[in-house]
Structure 1
Amino acid sequence: MSDRVTTVLKGGIADVRLARPDKMNALDPAMFEGIGAAIDALAERTDVRCVVLSGEGRAFCAGLDMASMQAGRSGTGRERNAQGAILPQHVTWGWRNLPMPVIAAVHGVAFGGGFQIMSGADIRIAAPNARFAIRETYWGLVPDMAGFPIWRGLVRDDVLRELTYTAREFDAAEALHHGFVTRIADDPHAAAMELARQIAARSPHAIRGAKRLCNMAHDADPLTMLQAETDEQIKVIGKPNMMEQVRANMEKRAAVFQD
């Protein structure tokens, strides 16, 4: 694993942290590689119930390291993976497509690429003083890290256009109002871990099925969604984890699930 990203697994929760605090976790080639590798490793885990994604130090992620940009993002792969994403997109799109839920805990700043990576999480909890920006046009660039296919399900079109065209900074209250942030907490990492524990206490197969349905909901036609709901229910109903969830609820104890 890259020294740019750390992952600690405990109680079914993967605590993933961007670990370049001296640079406010800015994205250089090694950071791209490290995030991509972390996502790929998690995708293979059946024992991970939930992921909490955060940044060490003063910020979640300050965006692209400008020296890296000048070098043309040297070292960031341009080959498309099975999901159709090149590496700079995979570090955002990959979180959305992990089988388990991902919660981003955001403090300091989430600018540019960091804002897009945050957006890839299922749920985003921000500190009250966090600052955000779709920053790319400030540098003469366009957002190209899978932000657009995610943002279209979060925010009004005209709001997205205004924030993208101007590249202006906005605070957590505005991010919450627009739908970029799920909620605000004084300690977003602690809040994210508590939420992750609640999710981890549910049947992992039900949660993974629910995430697949959520991922389809914005784009699929109603008939496709109706069939998908039925298909996902067939996968879990009457199965050991569903029965264990019922017994645990009735006996008022923690459930013990099969991976």
Structure 2
Amino acid sequence: MGYENILFEIKAGIAKLTLNRPDKLNSFTQAMHREVQDALAKVREDKSVRVFVLTGSGRGFCAGQDLSDRAVEPGAQGVDLGESVEKYYAPLVLALRELPMPVICAVNGVAAGAGANLALACDIVVAAKSACFIEAFCKLGLIPDTGGTWILPRLVGRARATGLAMLGEKLTADRAEQWGMIWKCVPDELLMTDVMAMAEHFAVAPTKGMAFTKKALQLSYGNSLQDQLKLEGEMMRELGYSHDYREGVDAFIHKRTPHFKGE
């Protein structure tokens, strides 16, 4: 599949996807959704990939849905937005959450609407100081989709999530870091340097352990403590038999650099 709306590459264990409609602040069209879906399928199929990086081109990360792609005029027949969620946005969030590897989002500019919640669905979010997050749905009479109603209260609590969702005010990257909504905020000129250094770290890390950590944290939201302890035991049992655990212990004992296979 040839890509016209995204940039995508796999190199040295790192898959990097750049939303590439800078003149439209990388807002989503159906065509871009299909390209992203195709790229994510390639990531899942390629066993060499050990970390996934998502970012945007130009001055914005993603402005959410391109409203002109499914425009509706006042008084005209509406469009089925539920279909858009079910066909595109929900599968996109689930695909990112289910990737068996760390997912890093580099927020290089404004992240609005679905773009904000897409970023927050990633495992680790690093934002440029000039970036901001806007839950713009309320200005259109909508709700925060793309997992926003689930993700936001878990990141910042009910009170802040409600304020963000109902007021649609801009939240700076600095404040997002202070609230614990993202991992960290960095100077604009250091964003991709920091993110790619992190990606290179994960590209040689024990990927299966990272994948299990990601899954365990996600399942903890619906588990009792007893269920979570049982899950931890099951995961530790499987990881204890892995090559990477044996390699990590041997490297620690002999004070050498470990060489993880990610299996």
TM-score by length of 2: 0.88
Is 1:247 the equivalent of 2:253? Answer: no
Q: Deviations over 1:2-44 (max 9, x none)?
A: 3222221122111111111221101111122222222233223
Determine if contact 2:93/2:121 at 8 Å carries over to the other structure: yes
User: How far is the alpha carbon of 1:78 from its aligned partner?
Assistant: 3.5
Q: Name the Cα RMSD after superposition.
A: 2.2
Partners of 1:177 and 1:253 lie apart in 2 by: 34
Q: How does 1:1-259 map to 2 (within 5 A)?
A: 1=1, 2-70=3-71, 78=83, 86-186=87-187, 187-249=190-252, 250-257=254-261, 259=263
Question: Unaligned regions of 5+ residues in structure 2, if any?
Answer: 73-77
Q: Deviations over 1:213-244 (max 9, x none)?
A: 11112221111111110111111113222212
Deviates more, 1:183-192 or 1:124-133: 183-192
Partners of 1:156 and 1:256 lie apart in 2 by: 37
The amino acid across from 2:218 in the alignment is: N
Q: Deviations over 1:64-95 (max 9, x none)?
A: 21202416779x99499xxxx54222222321
Q: 1:216 to 1:130 in 2, by over 3 A?
A: same
The amino acid across from 2:192 in the alignment is: H
Partners of 1:107 and 1:235 lie apart in 2 by: 38
Count of residue pairs brought into register by the alignment: 254
User: How far is the alpha carbon of 1:193 from its aligned partner?
Assistant: 1.3
Which of structures 1 and 2 has the bigger CA Rg? 2
Partners of 1:231 and 1:73 lie apart in 2 by: 46
Determine if contact 2:37/2:92 at 8 Å carries over to the other structure: yes
The amino acid across from 1:31 in the alignment is: M
Partners of 2:48 and 2:222 lie apart in 1 by: 29
Q: Per the alignment, in what secondary structure is the counterpart of residue 152 of structure 1?
A: helix
Partners of 1:33 and 1:242 lie apart in 2 by: 38
Q: 1:214 to 1:73 in 2, by over 3 A?
A: farther
TM-score by length of 1: 0.89
Determine if contact 2:101/2:208 at 8 Å carries over to the other structure: no
Q: 1:153 to 1:43 in 2, by over 3 A?
A: farther
Q: 1:237 to 1:148 in 2, by over 3 A?
A: same
Counting aligned pairs with the same residue, the percent is 28
Determine if contact 1:106/1:189 at 8 Å carries over to the other structure: no
